[in-house]
Structure 1
Amino acid sequence: MSLLTVALLTAGCGGGATPEDGADEQGDPETAEAEDVPLEQRDSIAQFDVPALDPTAVEPCELLPDEEARDLGALPDDGAGVSQTESSCFYSDPMTGTISVKVNEGMATDRTMAWLTLQSAFTDAEEVEEVTDYVDVSGYPAYTTDYGGACNLDLALSDDHGLFFQAQSDDPCYLAVRAGEVVVANTPEL
């Protein structure tokens, strides 16, 4: 009998699960078990120690405010982010770099955004032409694809929401990940 089964049976009999039984501090054995799932096998944002975020709750250009884009070197002092579509925003400083942020919502599959992100991050490099690297962006699962002077970052914020960044600079993956951190901090919880 597994530790989780014992904890659930004990909880069902009025005993309550304890951290020693495999439950977290709030007594939820599912959360404790989810955190033990190997990174490559996770399939839900609930398996990360972060809240689900909703990037659709604000306009895309609000996710990366102009002042913070300037600090990253993606806008000149007098520049502003430009909405390209209702789900994306573009920032450009011809001297230092550019970045595009696109909000992705919903999937045409029954898989979650977290699952798709992790599958792409851990795909064997021999199976695809591009080499991807897993990155942790403020606790959220993401991966980068480095093309030399350009880099893409895919970032899962919930099971149904993600962000796609395209960056160009001297160190484009650094720029994309830093922009991802800013966007995570500016995105409301789901």
Structure 2
Amino acid sequence: MRRGAVAAGGVLLSVVLVGCSSGSAEQNEDSADTTTGGSTSSASSGSAIPNPKDATAVDVCELLPEDAAAQLGIYPDGRKSENDVSAPGTYRCTWENEDFVSVSLSPVQGRSLDTYYEHESDYVDFERITVHGYPGVRSNKIKPMEAGSCGMHVAVQEDQLVQSFATVSHDEIGSADPCALAKKALRLSLPSWPAAE
């Protein structure tokens, strides 16, 4: 029963929440990333996208490598489900552990970061972020530390975003940062995604 309630709450929050980032150590690491060669794509917000990726070119549950799942403390076998409310016709994959800590990744085609930039005032918590040189955004309508969950989007092409959504265990709400988990999932998985053709 508790697992179902947590899953239902996570789905509801994933509809409401978008984006988050972690502390300055990760931000400094990301800002130190450099891009050499390869193609680039320009996000409609004007942010250059180095070496565009195509997260839809593989099954959604292949977006998080097994070693990344181990580093995140979650099981390597993900569960695929449809994004029936937030992005109908698209899928997410959710990985979790026995304490109901979870991470889900979901590519969204046909959406740019401008979707969030244009509505900055709608969010309690808003910040432009970078993951391995790729532009992204955290844009939360509920404070992540209070909710125990956090989502973020990173642009891998001009019109393709990947959402990372993380929840911490009920016992860790208020003490564990779900945004750090969401960003770490992207940081560990993004390099393995296929290049856009």
Q: TM-score, normalised by structure 1?
A: 0.63
Q: Which amino acid aligns with 2:80?
A: S
Q: TM-score, normalised by structure 2?
A: 0.61
Deviation at 1:96, TM superposition (A): 6.8
Query: What corresponds to 1:91 in structure 2?
Result: 95
SS class of match (1:94): coil
Q: Which amino acid aligns with 1:52?
A: P
Deviation at 1:73, TM superposition (A): 1.6
Deviation at 1:134, TM superposition (A): 1.6
Task: Tell me if structure 1 keeps the 8 A contact 2:128–2:135.
Answer: yes
Greater RCO structure (CA 8 Å; 6+ sep): 2
Q: Does 1:133 align with 2:127?
A: yes
SS class of match (1:55): coil
Deviation at 1:94, TM superposition (A): 3.1
Deviation at 1:102, TM superposition (A): 0.9
Deviation at 1:80, TM superposition (A): 1.4
Change in Cα spacing, 1:117 to 1:139, as seen in structure 2 (3 Å) is farther
Deviation at 1:165, TM superposition (A): 1.6
Q: 1:80 aligns with which of 77, 80, 103?
A: 77
Please give the residue correspondences for 1:1-190 in structure 2 after superposition, counting only pairs within 5 Å.
43=44, 47-48=47-48, 50-75=50-75, 80-85=77-82, 87-95=91-99, 97-107=101-111, 113-119=112-118, 123=120, 127-144=121-138, 145=140, 146-148=143-145, 149-169=148-168, 170-190=176-196
CA RMSD of aligned residues (A): 2.7
Task: Tell me if structure 2 keeps the 8 A contact 1:53–1:189.
Answer: yes
- Deviation per CA, 1:122-165, whole angstroms, max 9, x where unpaired? x2xxx324311221111111122352211111111101211112
Aligned partners of 2:116 and 2:178: how far apart in 1?
19
- Deviation per CA, 1:81-137, whole angstroms, max 9, x where unpaired? 111236210011133721111110124xxxxx14335445xx2xxx32431122111
Task: Tell me if structure 1 keeps the 8 A contact 2:68–2:189.
Answer: no
Aligned partners of 1:71 and 1:155: how far apart in 2?
20
Identity %: 24
Aligned residues: 139
Deviation at 1:74, TM superposition (A): 2.6
- Contiguous gaps of at least 5 residues in structure 2: 1-36, 83-89, 169-175
Deviation at 1:58, TM superposition (A): 0.6
Aligned partners of 2:73 and 2:100: how far apart in 1?
6
Task: Tell me if structure 2 keeps the 8 A contact 1:118–1:141.
Answer: no
